[in-house]
Structure formats: structure tokens, C-alpha cells
Amino acid sequence: MQTQSPTRAPLTRDRMVALMLADDADADGRFVVAVKTTGIYCLPSCRPPRRPNPENVAFYATAEAARAAGFRACKLCRPDDGLAARRHDEALVEGLVGAIGRDPGAFRCVGDLASAASVGASKLHALVRTHYHASPTDLLSRARVAAAKRALLHSRQPVAEIAFAVGFDSLSAFNDNFRRQTALSPLGYRRLPERPEFALSLPADYPAEHVLRYLGRDRASLTERVEGRTYLAAIRLDATGAPPAVVRVDIGAGAARCRLLTGAPANPATAELLHDGLTAALGLRADPARFEAHVAASPELAPLIDGQRGLRVPLVADPFDGLARAVVGQQITLGFAATLRRRLVERVGTPLGGGLFAPPTADAVAELEPSDLSALGFSRAKAGYLVGAARSVADGRLPLTAFGAASATRIERTLLAVRGIGPWSANYMMMRAYGFLDCLPLGDSGLAAALEGFFVLPARPGKEETITLMRRFSPYRSLATFHLWHRLGTAARPTTGLPKGDAA
């Protein structure tokens, strides 16, 4: 395989062959396909009259690298134009999201967003779906609620004034959207800094048993623990200068009662981080209703949600913790991954009492040498990957907490450029740490086994067939993946049995 980099390609050759054979447009911009027999290079999504044999193609990270090797652009898919357009579209949507975040009240409806982007409504929906796994209405509602949250914590403006200032047409619409996204009333959210205890409202179909089973999948975890219907967790509040906190969550009928065990929030910023961390961990960031409607509309797909309605994806609140989990879990069983993670936490986590630790920070892991992790049982490659990734985060090359309004496509591209982060790791992290709804952790053996059983296939699907099958669940492949893991009984072990080289 030939690539622009002499040391490592961001994707394995098998993965790129699978994407090429699937005509996967999502791969456009990540590499180009060079056909040795014709001397041309194409986008992965190109559909030539005669598909080249895999042994007759080479892959390059960029069109420039393909041209330098003597290949010319395909006249059918026009890769130079396509790649430029894709990056232009990404920048266009990111700029629009930034503008919404700065002043959501300036956009009264989706039509205003389309006008600001100088595209039609249909084009805007397609762009937002591709780059943010959402709809324009979702983006606008999230930005309005985010602005309202800031105003509630950092000002004494009346609630009604805030609601109209951020762009809602009525108090009822504001309250409905705010409660759905925060699990609190606006006044309840404003009071967060004043008290060490608060109750998050849970939807009527909230699957408490599923969520608790997932959160407690490692019974010996040092960072979180489940005891009956009680969840204990360590949450980092470092961005505010505050020490990590231990929080207790008692899940009952219709509410999750949260209480800080290490002191009350001292300021609005701390309260905001604490609330964000808990809503993430409990899977309250995204409503699965549209995914369930999408699946229920197909007789063949509808059985996926039988007995699992309301299922949500619990998120990892700390992006570096999510990255560490992904790297540690590559190519090994859940049990061994949990053991390695516990050893890492004991070595550089922050002890908080009661046997709980705050997860390691990137700075702490960056100070280690790979040999320090090898002594804990990490393979030499995995140790190097984790320390290297931590150093990239610590020195700002991998801005996990500063992605802000970045698109899914930009975040994935940035992750894949890091040594040791492959497609599985990047998509697993995007699904679990950033909450994107249309991720596909391709290469996951649990997912492949679940698809084999769900669709009654004669054999476990390979990568190309997995891509084709999962496309039926788009734009909700993250939720479909989680449902399939649960259906198989592997929601607690999604990282087991990865094919060798998939996360390299």
C-alpha cells in the first residue's frame, strides 16, 4: 500500500478496499483510489463502468500524493472538484454552526439558516446530516438551549426574557425544549450552584435497568460503581480549577436524584460541568424517539427495538477518558481491557476516597514513558499509542476539549491522523464521547455477530456487508449499534475480538 506518509496510513488497506467496494461517499476526503491499470485516481465513491480488482489499486492520503506518483484525475467522479467541494461544505456548515452559537436569536427558523448559508433548505438538511449527524432544527434548538443555560447561570435576567432573547417564540416551547435537553426546569437549572443535591427528570420510557447494567459492566471499576439502583461516579471539574467530585445518583421512578459527596458546586461553571457530566453518563443527551420511529416503519427492522424502547447511549463525560478507553480496548477482550484500565487509573488517576479515582488526565499520561505502561501489562504498541495520543492532547495538537462546534467529519479526520487511532477507535469515541448519532465502529466483532443473528445470515458479515446492512439504519447507526449490542448481550463488551490490525 502506498500513502503520503512513510510511517503509517490512517486506514488499513483492507478497510479502504471495503470502503471502495461499497462506494462509500463518507470515505471521500479521507483517501483516494489510484488504479494502476488505467493510471487514474478516483474518489472512493466513484462508480466506474468496470470496477478495478483490489490487487490493481493503490491508496493515497491525498490527491496531491497520487498526482506526484504519476496518476491523473478521473473524469467521471472528478476527485479534485469533489474533495474541494467536501471541505468547502464542511467549512460552510461549521461556520454556520459557529454563527448560531454566537447569536441563536438571530435565526428565527431553518429558512434563516439556509439563507445565511446561501443554500436551499434540502441542501442544508443534507449538509447538516453529513457533517453533524443532526437536522438544522436540532442544531438551532441546541444552540438556543445552550445560550439559555449560560444566561441562567451567569445573569439574573428573568426566564421569559432569556427565552425570547435566544429565539423561542413562546415560553411553552422554551420550557419543553429546555426540559428535554437538560432534564431540569429553567429555574431548577439556575439553582444548581446553590445546592449539593438536585433531581433530573427521567422520560417515562427510560430504561433504568439497561443503563445501570451498562454503567456497572466492570464491577471492579475504580472510576464508577453501581450498587443496586445507585450509581457512584468520579467526575473531573478541572476546567474550572475545582478538584474532581464524587457524585451519587439514585435512580427511581421518573427521577435520578443526584448528590455531591465531596462538596457543593462553588460557582456556575462547576455546576454546569457537573450537570453536563451526569446527563451524559445517564444517556440523557439525545432523545431516541426519531430513531425508534425510523426503525418501526420497516417490518424487517422493527424487531430491533422490541423490549428495548427508550434505550440510550451513555456517554463518557471526559473526552480524554473516552480516547483512553478506545485505545486500551483495541483488539482485546473486555475483561483484559478493564484490568488494564484499572492499572492505569491506579498509576495516574486521582484518588478521591472510598476506593474511587478520577480518570487519568492527558497531562498525567503524557508524563509516562511507554515502558511504564508495558510494566502494567500493555503491549508495546498499545503503550506507545496511548502515551503518544496523550502527548498530542497535552501539547494541543489533538484539541479534544476544544473541538467546540467542530463537525463529525473534522473530528474523525483529526482522530484518524493520530498514530494508533483507526476507524474503529475513532467511531467508538465519536459515539461514546461526543454523542454523534450516525457512527459505525466497523470491525467490531460483537456488532458483526449481532447482525448475523438479527438478519438471520448464513455467516458473520464481513466489512463490506456490514456497511451495507448498517446503511439501512442511517442516520442513526450509533443507536442501532447499541441496540444490536444489547440484543446480542454484548453491550457490556463492545470492544472484544477486534480483527488484528483494525485499530492499528
The answer to whether the 193-284 and 319-488 domains have the same CATH topology is no
Which residues make beta-bridge pairs with 199? 257
| pLDDT (tens digit per residue) in 256-274 | 999 999 866 668 888 899 9
User: What percentage of residues in the chain have a pLDDT greater than 90?
Assistant: 67
CATH domain 13-77 topology: DNA Methylphosphotriester Repair Domain (3.40.10)
Which band of pLDDT confidence, cut at 50, 70 and 90, is reported for residue 310?
Answer: very high
Mean pLDDT for all residues in the chain: 89
CATH top class, domain 81-190? mainly alpha
First to last CA, the chain: 15
Which band of pLDDT confidence, cut at 50, 70 and 90, is reported for residue 105?
Answer: very high
Count of CB atoms situated within 10 Å of the CB of 396: 8
Question: Whose grid coordinates read 498525567?
Answer: 364
Indicate the pTM of the whole model: 0.81
Tell me if 145 sits within 8 A of 178, measured CB to CB.
Answer: yes
**Residue with the larger pLDDT of the pair 405 and 97:** 97
Q: Could you please report the per-residue DSSP string of 349-381?
A: SEEEETTEEEPPPHHHHHTS-HHHHHTTT--HH
Q: Where are the domains positioned within the chain?
A: 13-77, 81-190, 193-284, 319-488
Q: How far apart are CA 504 and CA 495, in angstroms?
A: 14
* Segment 225-248 mean pLDDT: 88
Count of CB atoms situated within 10 Å of the CB of 53: 10
Is 3.30.310.20 the CATH classification of the domain at 193-284? yes
Tell me if 31 sits within 8 A of 59, measured CB to CB.
Answer: yes
**Residue with the larger pLDDT of the pair 488 and 411:** 411
Is 3.40.50.1100 the CATH classification of the domain at 319-488? no
* Segment 180-201 mean pLDDT: 94
- The confidence score (pLDDT) of residue 352 equals 92
Distances (CA, A) of 443 to 30, 221, 383: 18, 26, 21
CA atoms within 13 A on the CB side of 419: 15
Question: Whose grid coordinates read 466513484?
Answer: 46
Which residues make beta-bridge pairs with 417? none
| pLDDT (tens digit per residue) in 354-384 | 899 999 999 999 999 999 999 999 999 999 9
C-alpha cell belonging to residue 496: 472484544
Q: Which of 334-338, 405-409, 478-482 has the largest mean confidence?
A: 478-482
User: At residue 503, what is the residue type?
Assistant: A
- The confidence score (pLDDT) of residue 243 equals 86
- The confidence score (pLDDT) of residue 380 equals 95
- The confidence score (pLDDT) of residue 84 equals 63
Distances (CA, A) of 53 to 2, 34, 37, 59: 16, 11, 10, 13
Instruction: Report the helix count and the strand count for the chain, using DSSP H and E.
Output: 22, 11
